[in-house]
Amino acid sequence: MDFAREFMAKLDGKVSEEDMRIILRELEVFSGNYDIQKKETEIVEYQEPELPECYKVYLISKKIEGLSKETLKTYDLYLRDFLLTVNKPVSEITANDIRIYLYEYQRIHGVTNRTMDGKRLVINTFLQWCCDEGYIARNPCKQIHPIKYESKMREPLTGVEMELVRDACRTYRERAIIEVFYSTGCRVSELVRLNRSDVDFQKGEVHLFGKGNKHRISYINARAEVALKKYLFSRQDNDPALIVSDRKPHGRIKKTGIEKIVRDIGERSEIGRRVYPHLIRHTTATDALEHGMELQEVQAILGHEKMDTTLIYAKICQDNVKYNHKRYIV
């Protein structure tokens, strides 16, 4: 048992995340000089399923490590359902328990293999953490093979479709949102966090605060610069947020608000398919590669840690491959 991390679970919501990181670091050093054992208590038979203590400790650990709120919500949802359904101490969970849970979940809910593999991955990550932290002797999920599914290639917007989306914008704010998404390749959560001060028009740079609480720099092209300046000049508020709500007091717009705006623009464009922020991000990556940008540079703009992730988002144009094949393989 990890005394320091279990103690941090008790502080969740009582102090800031930064303070929690500092306290955890100091507590781990201090407690290293002591042999701390958990006090034995009488075994109580619970009438209703209860979540194990290590479950909350795990989520707190991931929160301290900087996982996004959206990812933490997904972990919480998946693990809570799994642990309450299996209803066993973590140390007694078997590979067969996991197989039965996954089989029954898919049978009852009718979800895709892709969703099921996502659940398997979350369970495996949690149980591996439990193993590394000494809560269990081994990870039973290692015996569960990845669930195969067909990965459909996401089709980016064509040049014509992108222009139709632009033409469907009715306000300065709508056009600014679309152009910033396309120029920077940012995630919707990153756009929500942006402040006016994060945009340097002189250098053409945007300072993004992204996934995993990591900072990176992306860039604004001429279209994004013009759209942003028109939008900012039209505003009557003093809120530091780059994009704000239309209604007074014009506070920072939420993620769902931006998603709805982009969805509405897409419907007005009448291009015949759903438009959402991540599709524009995918279009940015694909266009960059097709116009000759190096894969490592696209990776940097998108903020991906692994090159494989960039390849998933960005489809390399087969016409370019065919053309270069004729040039180089003779």
- Give strand pairing partners of 208: 216
* C-alpha to C-alpha distances, 109 to 98, 103, 105, 106, 153, nearest whole angstrom: 16, 10, 6, 5, 25
Count the neighbouring beta carbons within 10 Å of the beta carbon of residue 49. Answer: 11
Q: What is the dihedral of CA 238, 244, 246, 248, to 10 degrees?
A: -50
Residues classed as catalytic: 187, 211, 278, 281, 304, 313
- Of 87, 81, 86, the residue nearest 116 (C-alpha): 81
199 strand-pairing partners: 206
Separation of alpha carbons 142 and 125, rounded Å = 10
Structural tokens at position 74: 């997904």
Q: Which two tokens stand for residue 64?
A: 């301290």
Distance CA 52, CA 161 (A): 50
How many CA atoms does the CB half-sphere of 6 hold within 13 Å?
14
- Please give the order of strands across the beta sheet that includes 199-200: 199-200, 205-209, 215-219
Distances (CA, A) of 277 to 20, 61, 178, 188, 229: 33, 30, 8, 6, 21
Please report, for residues 80, 86, 109, 140, the alpha-carbon distance to residue 104 in angstroms, rounded to integers and kept in the order given: 16, 11, 8, 18
